[in-house]
Structure 1
């Protein structure tokens, strides 16, 4: 393919990547607004957030196989159209169940599109350009996820045509049309020359195992881990083992398994995939804690919360641009190590700057560590795709390219679930110190209130009880039962009204201090995990009996000496 059409086709692919990753984080910011508009319950709110990544992760491996059989260009464009249509349907939803169903369909179409992207990009360019184009791919994917809160906050605040939160879905319509126009005539067909029968058993086993793993993690804290969720986790382990055995047996019979387990014989692939899974766990956990601390802990608006991600996004853009230059001079493993350690250092820096007693985020002070964290993210994410794919061949690149986004989505889902449990565990634990401290301050403050001195201790005690019940519940973002609304009884209501300015101030104080303490502790844990990911880069040395050239430029090396461009390039259309 000539240079111009190839780059235009790449732009179409990258628009698809941008839309997929944007929708993994954009809904977080709009959740309070859509909850009020649609009347969503707590469990429905959680499903609106998680059903997209659940369906995304469960479909990816199957989607990679289908692309080779039916044509990656054809499936990419069909999935792009489906993604655009389901986005519109999400924006038109009139109740929570409808939105959840369309979000699930949106995740499936995103997976069908995502699984084709890396193989199509590899087929568009020669091996010499793979380091560059895969770096661009990684940068776009990372930037889109980072920009999700920013774009979401701006769209909700703008309230275009009175659509409110619905604009976060409608924005995909022009992007989807443009991506289809760029991709359809310019992408290679990318058909496998002799496709095997679809691995139906592998599709069912993998999708079922992933669902049974990710669903309990997504809803466990909110549902307080009933026995059925533990049964689902146990079934996930059994089905995963059955999937591995089935894949090995299919490969031994000469069939084409859904997941090429021989890929894991490559240390670069296995370690790189593990690093990708862990990093996206940390990434998702960080942005969750920022969003929840700002919106529920400090009462920030959607726009103000979203703008907190902007310095990080700017830093990520710089890191992504610098990354190819750094890889060419220092090798990919060293750049990966430097990038992830920079992220960890930024998290620790923010933790050191936080002072829960101030009851606010020091926005000006944390701008620098946010930018530094973004730079580290750009340095890490941009070359990671090429490192993971560096040992693949023309026969395995399709399976490998579907495995990478699967690992990323599983990592984000697991990370979000585990960090959620840890963070709210910290929120509950911090009440042992924050509630008594604010209780004492409220007792003193009430001395200047019109509340009868006889009732002041009761007011302070009632406040402490309600604060503890709320912050230690599965839903610390909403008042405890019996603590919301006006009290019954004229005498009690009169006392509550007199004390309200002081109790409201105390409520803001205890919530802010508790959430900031939990945020600070979580940041230290995420910083430690980043250091752990950095240690894994030590394992990315050259495999035995393989040339080391790919580690210098991040190019995808073909064991046969061919490039991925040989994947059925016979009929690429240059448009």
Structure 2
């Protein structure tokens, strides 16, 4: 199989699959696992990383966003390069590059170095990801695509879900004193194994004759996606200055020009970066829309869980990461069940059921929360998180099959770059929208949380050495600081002049804070918990409603006979 320039001869048949194909699939999936793991694993390690490297706010933001930006903006170009240079060659080279760039991230001595190497990671991940679907399609006959694409979807979802768990375990374990650096070093053994499994077992899949590079399409798509995704990544942090709106407007123009150019190039018989004939398939178009919306919800959920747990409830990185474990367990169960469900009711109804089950799980988590007391019971959320994970597994596993069901050998390469691009765009949009909504809800919840906490603080101060004359002013000062912080663009950080550290004060202020430091800290935790848990609950219900909308959209896929029975 190795070294061929096209798909195997039985790619459209039901012939047997040899062991080498399964080994090669394992290599592809391990590469996929690394890519998706690194989309979420850094979030958990960010506080330790920031302290160690002394990263500024803008540098922290770039550490998180540059990977996704480089990933999404390179995918379409990477798919074309794979067809021209050979998909196996590009895939294996990308694994090596990803492994090396991960090691360089781990040994970075400053934030700028880390940002550069994270960008290199993103480009390498795109070069890998853009080949994976085309390689898997070539490895297996058409009749097996439902199974192998289901495994692909399950691994992608599981890796993203496990990112916080793995990150929390690695940071807390502090292996060999490496701390946060282990989240990057862990990619070294994974990359070596993936190369060993994939090398010489994958088809080369080089287009003959090699097409001319669509340089204009590369430039327009890369610039258009960057001008769209960069403002979404940094907009809230920077307060949405006019230049970001200008970039988004320019993005719309560039992407429209890209579509026009690609249509003309295809009509002339050329090799466009994105084959627009793919969108002639209703299942492809609707499937991409489902992917966009679902990964928006998926990214939004994990963002709100992480931010609520760490900044609202004060959880450690490990405890925050472990919150994703029940969801991941449910994801495995849903992925295992998915092929049987598809066989019984068809892929469209399975996707509908998955979206509804996920929505039910998210709504159930919301019902367990107690915003008034600012608490979240871990035992109470385990079952609904498992249910949400089952819904995710049911949905993600058959999604790739539904999207790619109408593709052919002529356009599978273009689809292989388009599908993950849309997923990354969806995740970016989801994060941008949910951050605005969630922090808006934090500010709304603060209007009731601050007065309630202030009243409790006044009562608690009666049991301190603070003189009665100063108790009410101290509570008022606390309320002003809490309100200013929770209604600001950065409710996870103290407002200016409100640090609350006795060592930062002097004279009478330091003396008063020292006498009531324990009560002030407890009040700070309480008001943050109430505001963040309340915002988390409202956001979960909004995401559950989105899942219901996704379930309705799945019906637009239409019916199609499955391998064993009709849909």
Tell me the CA shift for residue 488 of structure 1.
3.6
- Which residue does the alignment assign to 1:276? 291
Are 2:554 and 1:537 equivalent residues in the alignment?
A: yes
Instruction: After TM superposition, list the pairs within 5 Å mapping 1:98-177 onto structure 2.
Output: 98-177=113-192
CA distance in 2, matches of 1:402, 1:118: 8
- The 1-side partners of 2:493 and 2:564 are apart by 52
Farther-moved stretch of structure 1 (417-426 vs 454-463): 417-426
Contact 1:56 1:107 in 2 (8 A): yes
Q: TM-score, normalised by structure 1?
A: 0.94
User: Equivalent residue for 1:86?
Assistant: 101
Secondary structure at the aligned position of 2:469 is classed as coil
Give 1:304's match in structure 2, choosing from 308, 314, 319: 319
Could you give the per-residue CA deviations for residues 466-502 of structure 1, whole angstroms, max 9, x where no partner exists?
Answer: 1011111222111111111335431121111112111
Question: Partners in 1 of 2:77 and 2:565 — Cα distance?
Answer: 30
Question: Deviation at 1:401?
Answer: 1.4
1:549 aligns with 2:561: yes
Aligned residue in 2 for 1:235:
250
Provide the residue aligned with 1:393 in structure 2.
408
CA distance in 2, matches of 1:158, 1:3: 41
Which residue is 1:461 aligned to?
Answer: 476
What are the ranges of 5 or more consecutive residues in structure 1 without an aligned counterpart?
543-547, 556-575
The residue number in structure 1 matching 2:366 is 351
Work out which of the residue numbers 499, 510, 527 in structure 2 matches 1:510.
527
Q: Which residue of 527, 539, 562 corresponds with 2:544?
A: 527
Following TM superposition, by how much is the alpha carbon of 1:551 offset from its aligned partner in structure 2, in angstroms? Answer: 7.7
4+ aligned runs moved over 4 Å, structure 1: 550-555
Write the deviation string for residues 355-402 of structure 1: whole angstroms up to 9, x where unpaired: 012322111011000000101100000000011000011101111111
Query: Partner residue of 2:261?
Result: 246
Task: Output the CA distance in 1 between the equivalents of 2:145 and 2:317.
Answer: 38
How far apart, CA to CA, are the structure 2 residues paired with 1:465 and 1:161? 44
Contact 2:343–2:562, Cα closer than 8 Å, also in 1: no
* Shift in alpha-carbon separation, 1:516–1:554, aligned structure 2, 3 A: farther
> 2:91 is matched with which residue: 69, 72, 76?
76
In 2: Cα distance, 1:135 partner to 1:535 partner: 22
Q: Deviations over 1:264-317 (max 9, x none)?
A: 111100000010011001000000100110011111011101000000101100
Give the whole-Å Cα distance in 1 for the aligned partners of 2:556 and 2:195: 40
CA contact 2:79–2:417 (8 Å) conserved in 1: yes
Q: Could you say which residue in structure 2 is the equivalent of 1:375?
A: 390
Q: Is the 8 A contact 2:343 2:563 kept in 1?
A: no
Which string of whole-angstrom CA distances, capped at 9 and with x for unpartnered residues, describes residues 117-164 of structure 1? Answer: 010001011111111111111100010000000000111111110000
- Partners of 1:468 and 1:554 lie apart in 2 by 58
Q: Are the counterparts in 1 of residues 143 and 563 from structure 2 also a CA contact under 8 Å?
A: no
Question: Residues 479, 552 of structure 1: CA spacing in aligned structure 2 closer, same or farther, 3 A cutoff?
Answer: farther
- 1:237-283 deviations in whole A, cap 9, x for unaligned? 11111111111121122111111111111110000001001100100
Aligned-residue RMSD, C-alpha: 1.4
Contact 2:282 2:557 in 1 (8 A): yes
Return 458-467 or 443-452, whichever deviates more: 443-452
Task: Give the CA deviation at 1:193.
Answer: 2.0
- Are 2:29 and 1:17 aligned? no
Q: Distance in 2 between matches of 1:553 and 1:402?
A: 31
For 2:445 and 2:259, the matched residues in 1 are separated by 43
Higher relative contact order by CA 8 Å / sep ≥ 6: 1 or 2?
A: 1
Q: Match of 1:212?
A: 227
Q: Which runs of 5+ in 2 are unaligned?
A: 2-16
Q: Distance in 2 between matches of 1:312 and 1:554?
A: 31
Q: 1:458 to 1:502 in 2, by over 3 A?
A: same
Q: Is the 8 A contact 1:331 1:551 kept in 2?
A: no
Q: How many angstroms apart in 2 are the aligned matches of 1:127 and 1:242? A: 35
* Equivalent residues of 1:390, 1:554 under 8 A apart: no
Contact 1:217 1:417 in 2 (8 A): yes
Q: What is the aligned residue count?
A: 550
